[in-house]
């Protein structure tokens, strides 16, 4: 009690110095709190923009897929075919905590120039448009043409893909009948009419390095509603066209084998078959042969299964699904969304790291200023401290007194900084600060700047503040505690 009384009165007595130290603490805490709010808002916004418009919470890929990053792969890196999709989707959809799932084809393809020019490259997504639109109802805004109806084929080109194709091929691709050049990429608006095409020849590669090309009619162009700068490079096509491009078996090419044909094709004992022996392969092998048949393409082939969860976070959901897939011996594995989109998923973490680095630097500077100010204060009070030591105050008492003084300042000014930062975070969304820029939307956490402060962010701010104050107090505490009564007498 005595120490707190002394601390409070000393701070009041040296109001000017207290205000300097307090001001630094206030500003540091305010910036840290608001910065944490911006990053948390960004994390949430990024998650919403990626999960709700592009990936779902969890992505299931083939167990042969080496990298978790299946969307933003390096040029030409294949996404493995995902077999036994019916069994996988059945297993996934049967979980109560799964809201929906969507199979998808995804690979890098080459767009061929029909006049022997340079080819272009586009990421191609193969989807059932109806199911895709149901899974991502507001993800894509069509600016010209329309999304193909069931049974129709064609390609849907977002602006980013069109820009990329124009830059590499010198041609732009628009749906037939579109004359509005304002829909074209800025650089392509003065392109010669001869270089405006309504079909694009797309070539994919199979794992056996065979190539397949397919002429796809451009049926629509538009933009993804969020993160179009990134997702805009992903063109969409109907799944059957996609399978043709990738050399996968199309549904209409599926051949239904009789049991004998299946037995022969899957038999391990060809000698017995060729010797005319009537003893055809035993039906005991049926379960094995069936699974082999399924694995080699009885089910339609996709690359990914996107999963939307309810009441479970992505990391936990991916873990649970992975376990279930392994238990069911299905050739697939589950990846949370943030790992499936590579560096984009880690962006918030990277920015948080940068913010922490900046805050750390800020606090190092603040800590030095605070330590210096407090040390000067201790030196100025040599007489007073020496006298207290002379009448029986221990070194510990003096050190605690200094710590109490900085603690009071930290609690008052730092606390006010944290509260002000939290208020600023709460008020900012109401200001309606808007951006149409995709990349800025990532920072804003959406179209409206929407920082967010979670309890753990607040706790982190308080801990960081306490740490800085504690560290900044160490030297002044040591200095004050080392003052002796003799120092006071010498000073006098």
Partner 1 sequence: MNVVEIHNLVKDYPLGSTIVHAVRGVDLDIPQGSLMSITGPSGSGKTTILNIIGCIDTATSGSVKVNGQETSSLTDRQLTDLRLHTIGFIFQTFNLVPVLTALENVEFPLLLQGKLSTGKVREKARQFLSSVGLGDHEEHKPAELSGGQRQRVAIARALVTDPSLVLADEPTANLDSETGESILQLMQKMNAERGTTFVFSTHDAQVLRYARTVVEIHDGRIVGA
Judged by the rule CB under 8 A, the positions of this chain that interact with partner 1 are 1-2, 5-6, 9-10, 12-13, 383-384, 386-395, 397, 484-486, 488-489, 492
Q: How far is the CB of 10 from partner 1 (least distance, A)?
A: 6
Q: How far is the CB of 417 from partner 1 (least distance, A)?
A: 26
Q: How far is the CB of 396 from partner 1 (least distance, A)?
A: 9
Q: What is the largest CA-CA distance in the chain?
A: 120
Q: How far is the CB of 458 from partner 1 (least distance, A)?
A: 34
Q: How far is the CB of 384 from partner 1 (least distance, A)?
A: 6
The three-point CA angle 69-74-79 to 5° equals: 55
Report the residue number, 329 or 492, with the smaller CB distance to partner 1: 492
Report the residue number, 65 or 407, with the smaller CB distance to partner 1: 407
Contact indicator for 458, 418 with CB cutoff of 8 Å: yes
Report the residue number, 92 or 393, with the smaller CB distance to partner 1: 393
Helix (H, G, I), strand (E, B) or coil at 262: helix
Q: How far is the CB of 415 from partner 1 (least distance, A)?
A: 23
Report the residue number, 433 or 486, with the smaller CB distance to partner 1: 486
Helix (H, G, I), strand (E, B) or coil at 102: strand
Q: Which residues have C-beta within 8 Å of that of residue 14, sequence separation ≥ 6?
A: 377
| Backbone angles phi and psi of 146, in degrees to 5 | -155, 160
Q: What distance in Å separates the CA atoms of residue 43 and residue 473, rounded to the nearest whole number?
A: 34
Report the residue number, 212 or 397, with the smaller CB distance to partner 1: 397
Report the residue number, 361 or 489, with the smaller CB distance to partner 1: 489
Q: How far is the CB of 472 from partner 1 (least distance, A)?
A: 22
Contact indicator for 247, 165 with CB cutoff of 8 Å: no
Select from 200, 201, 199, 245 the least CA-distant residue to 106: 245
Burial of 327 (0-12, 13-18, 19+ CB in 10 A): exposed
Helix (H, G, I), strand (E, B) or coil at 218: strand
| Backbone angles phi and psi of 302, in degrees to 5 | -130, -175
Cα separation values, 293 from 179, 245, 459, Å: 49, 23, 56
Helix (H, G, I), strand (E, B) or coil at 36: helix
DSSP state of 101: E
Q: Which residues have C-beta within 8 Å of that of residue 371, sequence separation ≥ 6?
A: 471, 472, 473, 474, 475, 476
Report the residue number, 346 or 484, with the smaller CB distance to partner 1: 484
Q: How far is the CB of 430 from partner 1 (least distance, A)?
A: 44
């Amino acid at each position: 009690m005595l120490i707190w009384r002394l601390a409070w009165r000393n701070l009041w007595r040296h109001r000017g110095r207290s205000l300097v130290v307090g001001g630094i603490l206030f500003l540091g805490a305010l910036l840290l709190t608001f910065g944490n709010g911006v990053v948390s808002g960004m994390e949430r916004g990024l998650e919403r923009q990626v999960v709700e418009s592009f990936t779902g919470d969890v992505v299931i890929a083939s167990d042969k897929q080496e990298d978790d990053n299946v969307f933003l792969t390096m040029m030409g890196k294949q996404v493995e075919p995902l077999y036994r999709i019916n069994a996988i989707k059945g297993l996934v959809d049967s979980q109560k905590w799964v809201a929906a799932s969507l199979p998808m084809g995804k690979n890098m393809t080459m767009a061929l120039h029909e006049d022997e020019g340079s080819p272009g490259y586009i990421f191609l997504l193969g989807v059932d448009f109806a199911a895709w639109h149901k899974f991502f109802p507001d993800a894509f805004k069509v600016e010209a043409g329309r999304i193909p109806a069931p049974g129709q084929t064609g390609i849907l080109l977002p602006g980013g893909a069109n820009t990329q194709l124009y830059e590499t091929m010198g041609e732009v691709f628009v749906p037939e009948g579109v004359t509005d050049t304002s829909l074209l990429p800025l650089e392509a608006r003065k392109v010669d009419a001869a270089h405006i095409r309504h079909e694009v020849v797309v070539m994919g590669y199979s794992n056996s390095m065979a190539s397949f090309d397919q002429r796809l009619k451009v049926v629509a162009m538009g933009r993804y509603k969020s993160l179009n700068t990134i997702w805009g490079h992903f063109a969409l096509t109907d799944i059957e066209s996609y399978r043709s491009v990738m050399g996968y078996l199309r549904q209409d090419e599926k051949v239904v084998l009789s049991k004998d044909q299946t037995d022969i094709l899957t038999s391990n004992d060809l000698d017995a078959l060729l010797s005319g022996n009537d003893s055809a392969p035993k039906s005991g092998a049926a379960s094995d042969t069936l699974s082999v048949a399924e694995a080699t393409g009885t089910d339609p082939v996709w690359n990914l299964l996107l999963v939307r969860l309810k009441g479970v976070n992505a990391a936990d959901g991916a873990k649970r699904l992975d376990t279930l897939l392994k238990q069911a011996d299905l050739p697939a594995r589950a990846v949370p969304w943030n790992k499936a989109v590579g560096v984009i998923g880690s962006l918030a973490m990277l920015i948080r790291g940068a913010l922490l680095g900046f805050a750390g630097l800020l606090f190092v500077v603040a800590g030095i200023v605070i330590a210096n100010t407090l040390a000067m204060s201790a030196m100025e009070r040599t007489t007073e401290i020496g006298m207290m030591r002379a009448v029986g105050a221990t070194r510990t008492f003096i050190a605690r007194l200094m710590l109490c003084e900085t603690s009071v300042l930290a609690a008052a000014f730092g606390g006010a900084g944290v509260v002000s930062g939290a208020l600023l975070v709460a008020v900012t969304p109401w200001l309606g600060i808007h951006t149409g820029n995709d990349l800025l939307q990532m920072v804003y956490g959406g179209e409206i700047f929407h920082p967010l402060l979670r309890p753990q962010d607040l706790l982190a701010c308080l801990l960081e503040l306490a740490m800085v104050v504690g560290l900044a107090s160490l030297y002044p505490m040591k200095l004050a505690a080392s003052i002796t009564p003799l120092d006071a007498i010498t000073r006098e």
